[in-house]
Amino acid sequence: MSECRIDLKPGGEFYTMMNSPEGGKFPNNGVFLEVIPGQKLVWTDAYTVGWQPVENPFFTAIVEFADAGAGKTKYTARVRHWTLENAKKHAEMGFEGGWGTALEQLVEYTRSLK
């Protein structure tokens, strides 16, 4: 990811620029639908800032956090695609592995804060 803008509130901007190893750039525009600090984040690309609808929405992401005891957190991420074709395309893009790698990097980073 080479760019990121996050305004963490309902209606706030969610923007990232993903980069492929081959040099491709993939912008992701959207807004947060729900923000519950420490518990839940929901964002979608169905709208842009100002609740402007987009022509071809791709997905909505739902990320939940729960206390797992012993200083641990349970992380659950779900993605809801607008079409089966979008779900297949996202899988072919490697999003599941990419999200897993991002989570591992986040865990590593948070451990370094102790």
Q: Which is it for strands 52-53 and 25-36: parallel, antiparallel or unpaired? A: unpaired
CATH top class, domain 3-82: alpha beta
User: Which neighbouring-strand residues pair with 44?
Assistant: 31, 60
Instruction: Name the pLDDT band for 102 (thresholds 50, 70, 90).
Output: confident
pLDDT tens digits for range 14-73 = 999 888 778 888 888 999 999 999 999 999 999 999 999 999 999 999 999 999 999 888
CA distances from residue 90 to 12, 86, 95, 110, 113 in whole angstroms, order as listed: 24, 6, 6, 28, 33
- Give the separation between CA 77 and CA 47, rounded to whole angstroms: 20
- 63, 75 in Cβ contact below 8 A? yes
Report the share of the chain in percent with pLDDT over 70. 98
19 Cβ contact list (under 8 Å, min separation 6): 1, 2, 25, 26
Residue-wise pLDDT for 7-27, tens only, equals 999 999 999 988 877 888 888
